[in-house]
A and B are shown apart, each in its own frame.
Chain A
Amino acid sequence: MRRLWLVAALAAWGCEEAPPPGATVRGAGETPPPGAATDAAPPPDGPQGPGEPGAPGADGCATDAEFFEHRVWRPVMQTTCAACHRAGGVAADTRLRLVGPEVDGWIAANLASLRPLALETVRDVPLLVAKPAGLHPDGHGGGTLFGRGSTGYVAIAALAARLDGSAAPCEPVAGMVPDDPTCETAPPGVRGLRRLSHLEYANTVRDLLGLEVSDLSPDRVVHGFDNNGAALTVTPLLADQYRAEAERLAEAVELARVLPCATTDRACAATFVRDFGRRLMRRPLTADEQAGYLRIYDLAAEVGFETGIRWTLTAMLQSPHFLYRTELGRRADDGFTLTSYEVATELSYLFWQTTPDARLLELAADGRLLDPAVVAAEVPRLLDDPRSAATMNRFAERWLGLGRLTQVTRDGELYPHLTDAVRAEMGEETRRTIAAAWRDGATLADLLRGSSRPMTATLAAYYDVPPPGDQWVATNLDDTPYGGLLTHGSVLVTHALPTGSSPIHRGLFVRERLLCQDLPDPPANLDTSPPPVDPTLSTRERYSQHATDDACSGCHRQIDPIGFAFEHFDADGRWRPTDGVHPIDATGAITGTAATDATFDGVAQLADVLADSPDVTGCYVTQWLRYGYGVDDTLPIACYVSQLAPQVDALSDVLPALAGLPHLMRRTGGEAELDVPGADLTPSAPGEVVEPPDPPEPPDVVDPPPPPPPMDDVTPGATLRLVEQSRWQTGYCVDAFVLNEGDAELRWAVAHDVEGRINNLWNATGTADSGRVVFRGADWNGTLAPGQEAQFGWCAEL
């Protein structure tokens, strides 16, 4: 288990120097019973190479101190952990006590505090990782803060591996220090598949079929975004929705729109498969793929040509080649280079969130898109298209949480004027503001400061500002309390309570969405009753309790003083001179940031502070990296941000900057991985035109797969290796690995005398649940090439 978390952590850094299993990792292969305390011996004294604290960074490799500061403290610990684990904090009595840069020798002091927690393990996971990751049997007072694979998890796991001496990979300082301008050493992401987000699916279907799609089961939200590549999967519910939607769309589509020919024969169907298939799959289909669709056509065409075409389309709309965007590429140099069609797809979804247009496909067809100069020349066209402004608005909706504007509830008696119509116009006001800023080359600072906004008569009356000359004409707001983005009704209403303003919601909004500093949930065992509604106190006075109560102050002193700046704006998004009968004190402060610490009075001053802050620009870029490339900080984000931020002046500079990253065209991948399907149809060098093959004839008899091995027989050449994962009083679980040690492909069957009775078996079938069991692989792992390994496993009761 230890090996697994560690290797995962290293892999997530894109580190190609992950130690071979068992080679350098203390304890690998041992499997102590769960819950047993593992008295890990401290690492031997003496230099351990570049990972030793204080050791000079040889060959540009980061020292532990540098790694801690740049990889762990700044992005993770200074807000998420130090909120509680600090002198006077709610977790001050625990074994982890952190100090900030204001203390001399703070890095050494923190490392000294962290080291014992890295050496002590619980179920073979360092305490330092187990606690915040929710893997400790006694839980964590602050709750589960980091899921596996998240930035926090990866950073802390890598730190733990350094501190316990089990791994000290070379992390180039050059790729770590935020102000490093080159970022040349930062690797691109791992090759993979990105299922279309629901938005991308809807846009793609609209562009290709001219039809609107139905609501689909919502996807997992990561960092506020619903397009994270790792989280986009196909569940049984979604698979059925894709099926129902494909059947409905294929039935509803106007055939003239998709058919390339006027005849109604098989030849036309074959051309349809080839040509429309290329649009749907965003690349030419292989001959085998075309034959597969024609088999569907032949079956359905028994009823007639139209039925044949509709069912062919039904199949295509459920194809993984349509539903997933591949970022697999073909092997090149020491990694993978995306195919030109994949680059066209990447660009199109990055800028427009829809399928590539004819021009991009044409540039892909002869490989020209693999030339960075051609990409650069294409960027202005992509950016000038109104679809890129729409992309910015969809980004802003997720970034600022504005999707909830129409959903958040308000007490109708307290806020009778906040009607659905007003909310709808508030949303439109923000969208128009952002679209105009994008189009006009405005900066993020302009958007935050803003002095005029597109307005309607209804909204102007609602806000009590001068009416516009006409619907949605910009109104100057200089003489009003309203101005930039933070005073938009949409932002203020979304971040408030049903019965009042909320310094907490608004402070968190600034902290997490504009400064990218995620804070932990309130810890358990804490009375978190909101301040009672006491008519003798103002909202601010009630909430100020959070800052005086020691248990709460660790976090709330980072939240509430920002939120207080908004106190002149009520939960209905309107300015108020007083909070009920109480005068309003809108002074506040930001603390604990790299470059944004300041005090202010009111939202306008807060907006000024944020507008001038490099932290906010960096956060804007960070959020765009997440959204634009669908990644969850598995890229070296800090490094990329340092590279991108100087290129981002206008809001809209961010997309060209993203398109300039090596990640647009390059990926890393494993040794045994094959090229993307159809890579042989994609030119690898500019100028080399490859025509899609002619539509195939009806297929001959397909070669049957190799026959399964006879029952009770074990495949020669297949060896079985077992790794016990856990064991308790009445049962155990193992992972099993089958290796093809022979020279030929084989369908494997392996036998094992099973201890106890199997109550759970995965990735294989078994002939019995106890005694001598013959295991066989599933559809996807049953056939092994020479040297290839399949994994399955079981749990059994004793």
Chain B
Amino acid sequence: MLTRRDFVAGLVAAPFLGLLRPARAQDGPRAKRLLIFSSPNGTIHRHWRPEAAAGAETRDFRFPTGSILEPLAPWKDRLVVVDGLNFLTGNNHEGGQAAMLTNGGGAGTPTRGMSVDQFLARRIGAEDRFPSLEFGVLTDLWGANIQTRISYSGAGELVHPDADPRRAFERMFGDLTGGPTEAARLKALRQSVLDLGRAELADLHQRVGRGEQIKLEAHLESLRSVEQSLFSDLTCDAPDAPDPLGKDDNDNAPALLSAQMRLAVTALACGMTRVASVQFSHTVSPVVFSWAGNAEGHHSLSHASDAQVEQVNAFVDAERWVAGQFGALLDLLKQTPDPAGDGTLLDSTLVLWAKEMGDSRAHVCEAVPFVLAGAVDGGRYLRANGESHARLLVSVCRLLGVEVDTFGDPTTSVGGLAGLA
């Protein structure tokens, strides 16, 4: 009997067919993929802000010793640090988490309430094994609600991350263990089961009111996603499965994050998806960064006033650890070759570190900190001076080759962010 590795090896003769295109002449790096990294509970600006020359855009900046972004100093030339963006469509913990990647916007707006990752997934990744993949760390403990989710497939429609690396791995690589005949039979059976489910849903659909029809339509759409992920060819070898870890254990967070980042990078490298997110906890998260020397919950620490020196220091320690993890993610991308031969994954992937609030002590979404990296003209510090963060979301779309003028609520702003696209 063939093993999964043997089976996969048979396919390696035609690797990444869809990606084998001649490199286009272009100015600067071109993003082919999007990777979002999020971490919660705002920031303390005086510990986050780089020291920089004046102006809306400068290449003359540095991360001060002891500051939150200092661990990213080795990556400075690959980063665009964006300061001064405001959320105009949401405020506070929950409102900020909801607006972070959506800029609000209901069903009747061009982006229909989708978050930027889901919007782009439909544009650039609709035919991929997974239009997008979502990896979470400590995202299951409170169940699903507006505070604990960052992605939306439509207005108010939460997209859930998988908080268990082991389970995410199994979903990515499937369970093909037989030879070609068995694989074909398995495929036929699964197809007929999905077809029957579809027929039953359609029958049920006729019998219910409009509200329930929407539910069933979402279910049908989900079956289509399952079909796509089951039946598209796997074009790379599975790495070793992640070690089993308690997905809800506070102190496992570093190991969980490391495993999830590896899976996200693997998924991009294998061409399984072009859009992925790694979500570290969520707003109001009580996670205790014990591995960074913290004793109190991150949310409590995020509200410490300047007079509470010990707590502020603990918060900065936690945030510096997150910055270091973002650096580790960039390092993983840099070590991974782009499957189409365009340098490394870092060169062809746009990476966005997003937070849901500005100054956490004030519970406001003003000057919300963002960091872009990878496939973008790096080494710059941008001051947006109160512009809507919709401009950043528009720029992210444009950097991925998707031309839009607005994102989310179309009345907040039109156009991208100066200095980006």
Contacts and interface: CB of A to CB of B under 8 A. Distances in A.
Interface of A: 1, 34-35, 134-135, 137, 139, 143-144, 147-148, 190-193, 195, 214-215, 217-221, 226, 230, 233-241, 243-244, 289, 292-293, 295-296, 299-300, 303, 311, 314-315, 318-321, 324, 326, 328, 404, 407-409, 411, 413-414, 497-499, 521-530, 532-533, 669-670, 673-677, 725-726, 728-731, 733, 735, 759-760, 762-763, 778-780, 795, 797
A395 B261 CA distance: 37
Contact of B141 (A135, A143, A407): A407
Given A218-B160, A236-B226, A498-B300, A676 B414 contact: no
3 tightest Cβ-Cβ pairs between the two chains A and B? A725-B108, A236-B225, A239-B222
Contacts of A409: 250, 286-288, 290, 297
A326 B200 CA distance: 13
A762 B217 CA distance: 11
B277 to A, nearest CB: 13
B304 A529 contact: yes
Interface string B234-274: 00000000000000101000000000000000000000000
A797 B197 contact: no
Nearest to B412: A137
Contacts of A235: 153, 158-160, 218, 222
A324 B204 CA distance: 10
Interface string B352-377: 00000000011111000000000000
B406 A193 contact: no
B364 A733 contact: no
B192 interface: yes
Contacts of B215: 193, 195, 233
Contact of B110 (A292, A296, A795): A795
Contacts of A759: 110, 404
B219 A728 contact: no
Given A296-B189, A780-B216, A234 B222 contact: yes
Contacts of B110: 731, 733, 759-760, 795, 797
Contacts of B12: none
Given A35-B411, A498-B286, A532-B305, A320 B145 contact: no
A532 B211 contact: no
A726 B188 contact: no
A214 B95 CA distance: 33
Contact of A221 (B108, B142, B223, B410): B142
Contact of A219 (B109, B143, B199, B206): B143
A516 to B, nearest CB: 18
A529 B361 contact: yes
Contacts of A299: 188-189, 192
Given A139-B91, A521-B92, A529-B308, A730 B414 contact: yes
A241 B218 CA distance: 16
Contacts of B141: 404, 407
Contacts of A239: 219, 222-223, 225-226
Nearest to B188: A299
Interface residues of B, number: 99
Contacts of A243: 190, 226, 230
A137 B219 contact: no
Contacts of A230: 211
Given A524-B91, A730-B405, A780-B216, A498 B207 contact: no
Nearest to A328: B207
B94 A521 contact: yes
B112 interface: yes
Contacts of B55: none
Contacts of B143: 218-221, 226
Contacts of B230: 243
B223 to A, nearest CB: 6
A408 B365 CA distance: 27
A780 B220 CA distance: 9
A739 B414 CA distance: 36
A529 to B, nearest CB: 4
A568 B210 CA distance: 53
Contacts of B109: 726, 733, 795
B95 A780 contact: no
B219 to A, nearest CB: 4
B208 A328 contact: yes
Given A192-B212, A730-B405, A731-B110, 6 more contacts: A221-B142, A230-B211, A320-B197, A411-B296, A779-B202, A780-B220
A530 B300 contact: yes
B1 interface: no
B41 interface: no
Contacts of A319: 196-197, 200
Given A143-B91, A289-B200, A759-B110, A731 B363 contact: no
Contacts of B189: 296, 299-300, 311, 314
B115 interface: no
Contacts of B226: 236, 239-240, 243
B219 A234 contact: yes
A504 to B, nearest CB: 11
B365 A524 contact: yes
Given A521-B94, A528-B361, A731-B406, A193 B199 contact: no
Nearest to A725: B108
Interface string B175-195: 000000000010011101100
B222 A521 contact: no
A532 B301 CA distance: 11
A239 B190 CA distance: 13
A292 B199 contact: yes
Q: Among the interface residues A411, A413, A525, A780, which one has the most CB atoms of the partner chain B within 10 A?
A: A780
Given A215-B164, A235-B159, A143 B208 contact: no
B6 interface: no
Contacts of A147: 156
